[in-house]
Amino acid sequence: MTIAAPQPKANMGQPVPRYDAVPKVTGQAQYAADMPLANPAYAYLVTSAIAKGRIDGFDLSDARKVRGLIDIVTHENAEKLKEPKLFGNGGYMSTTIQPLASAEIAQDGQIIAVVLADTFEAAREAAHRVKVSYTAATPTASFDSPGTTSARAKGQLSQFKEDPKVGDFADAFARADVKLVASYETPTQHHNPMELFATSCVWSGGQLTIYEPSQYVHGLKNGVAEQLGIDADKVRVINPYVGGAFGSKGSVTPRTAIIAAIARKLNRPVKLVATRDQGFTIATYRAETRHVIQIGASHDGRLVALRHEGAEISSRADPYAVGGTKITTRLYACLNVDSMVSIVRADRNTPGFMRSPPEVPYLFALESAMDELAFKLDMDPIELRRVNDTMNEPIGNKPYTSRSLMACFDEGARAFGWSKRSMRPRTVTDGDWLVGHGCAATCYPTQMAPAAARVRLQRDGRARVEIAGHEIGNGAYTVIAQAAADRLGIPYEKVTVAIGDSDLPPAPVAGGSNSTASTCSAVEMVCGQVRQRLFKALMPNEGLVDKTKETVGMGQTPVTQAAQSGQPLDREKAFDALGISIVEEYGEWKPEGAPLDSFRAMHDGKMRMVGGSEMKDRIAYAFGAEFVEVRINRWTHEIRVPRLVGAFACGRIMNPRTARSQLMGGLIWGMSSALLEATEIDERTARYVNDNLADYLLPVNADAPGVEVILLPEQDDRIDPAGVKGLGELGNVGTNAAVCNAIFNATGQRIRKLPVRLENIEA
**What are the residues binding ligand MOS (CB under 6 A)?**
215, 246-247, 250, 353-355, 357, 511-512, 729
Q: C-alpha angle with apex 347: 343 to 348, nearest 5 degrees?
A: 80
CB of 190 vs ligand MOS, minimal distance in Å: 13
Question: Distance between CA 422 and CA 441 in Å, rounded?
Answer: 19
Residue (220 or 413) nearer to ligand MOS, CB: 220
Cβ neighbours of residue 64 closer than 8 Å, sequence gap 6 or more: 72, 126
Residue (629 or 729) nearer to ligand MOS, CB: 729
Residue (247 or 651) nearer to ligand MOS, CB: 247
What's the gap between Cα 469 and its chain centre? Answer: 14
Residue (176 or 245) nearer to ligand MOS, CB: 245
CB of 306 vs ligand MOS, minimal distance in Å: 26
Give the DSSP H/E element, type plus range, for residue 263: helix 255-266
Residue (214 or 281) nearer to ligand MOS, CB: 214
Residue (285 or 433) nearer to ligand MOS, CB: 285
Number of CB atoms found within 10 A of residue 171's CB? 13
β-strand pairing of 235-238 with 207-211: parallel
β-strand pairing of 69-74 with 149-152: unpaired
Residue (354 or 641) nearer to ligand MOS, CB: 354
Residue (436 or 511) nearer to ligand MOS, CB: 511
Nearest to 248 by CA among 528, 473, 24: 473
Residue (129 or 355) nearer to ligand MOS, CB: 355
CB of 266 vs ligand MOS, minimal distance in Å: 33
Residue (351 or 357) nearer to ligand MOS, CB: 357
Strands (E), 590-689: 610-611, 621-633, 639-649, 681-682, 687-688
CB of 210 vs ligand MOS, minimal distance in Å: 19
How far from 183 is each of 309, 311, 369, CA to CA, in Å?
Answer: 9, 11, 9
CB of 245 vs ligand MOS, minimal distance in Å: 6
Nearest to 441 by CA among 403, 476, 475, 409: 409
CB of 474 vs ligand MOS, minimal distance in Å: 10
Question: Distance between CA 576 and CA 534 in Å, rounded?
Answer: 10
Give the DSSP H/E element, type plus range, for residue 599: helix 598-603
Which residue's Cβ has the minimum distance to ligand MOS?
247
With residues binned 3-state (H G I as helix, E B as strand, rest as coil), the percentages for the chain, rounded to 5, are: 30, 25, 45
Q: Tell me the three-class secondary structure of 332-366, residue by residue.
A: CCCCCEEEEEEEEEECCCCCCCCCCCCHHHHHHHH
Give the DSSP H/E element, type plus range, for residue 742: helix 735-747
For residue 265, count CB atoms less than 10 angstroms from its CB and return exposed for 0-12, middle for 13-18, buried for 19 or more: middle
CB of 251 vs ligand MOS, minimal distance in Å: 9
Residue 414 contacts residue 382 (beta carbons within 8 Å): no
Residue (215 or 278) nearer to ligand MOS, CB: 215
Residue 650 contacts residue 10 (beta carbons within 8 Å): no
CB of 246 vs ligand MOS, minimal distance in Å: 6
Residue 120 contacts residue 279 (beta carbons within 8 Å): no
Residue (115 or 196) nearer to ligand MOS, CB: 196
Instruction: Quickly list DSSP for 444-480.
Output: EE-EE--EEEEEEEETTS-EEEE-B---SSS-HHHHH
Residue (354 or 435) nearer to ligand MOS, CB: 354
CB of 26 vs ligand MOS, minimal distance in Å: 27
Residue 378 contacts residue 340 (beta carbons within 8 Å): no
How far from 742 is each of 291, 561, 642, 751, CA to CA, in Å?
Answer: 20, 54, 12, 10
For residue 456, count CB atoms less than 10 angstroms from its CB and return exposed for 0-12, middle for 13-18, buried for 19 or more: middle
CB of 354 vs ligand MOS, minimal distance in Å: 5
CB of 524 vs ligand MOS, minimal distance in Å: 23
CB of 249 vs ligand MOS, minimal distance in Å: 8
Question: Distance between CA 13 and CA 496 in Å, rounded?
Answer: 18
Residue (354 or 678) nearer to ligand MOS, CB: 354
CB of 473 vs ligand MOS, minimal distance in Å: 11
What's the gap between Cα 323 and its chain centre? Answer: 15
CB of 351 vs ligand MOS, minimal distance in Å: 11
Residue (310 or 473) nearer to ligand MOS, CB: 473
The number of helices, as runs of H, and strands, as runs of E, in the chain is 18, 28
CB of 6 vs ligand MOS, minimal distance in Å: 25
Question: Distance between CA 624 and CA 412 in Å, rounded?
Answer: 9
Residue 405 contacts residue 385 (beta carbons within 8 Å): yes
Residue (338 or 359) nearer to ligand MOS, CB: 359
Residue (243 or 511) nearer to ligand MOS, CB: 511
Phi-psi region of 397 (alpha: psi -120 to 50; beta: other; left: phi over 0): left
CB of 283 vs ligand MOS, minimal distance in Å: 12
Residue 648 contacts residue 409 (beta carbons within 8 Å): no
Question: Distance between CA 601 and CA 592 in Å, rounded?
Answer: 16
Residue 239 contacts residue 29 (beta carbons within 8 Å): no
Residue (325 or 532) nearer to ligand MOS, CB: 325
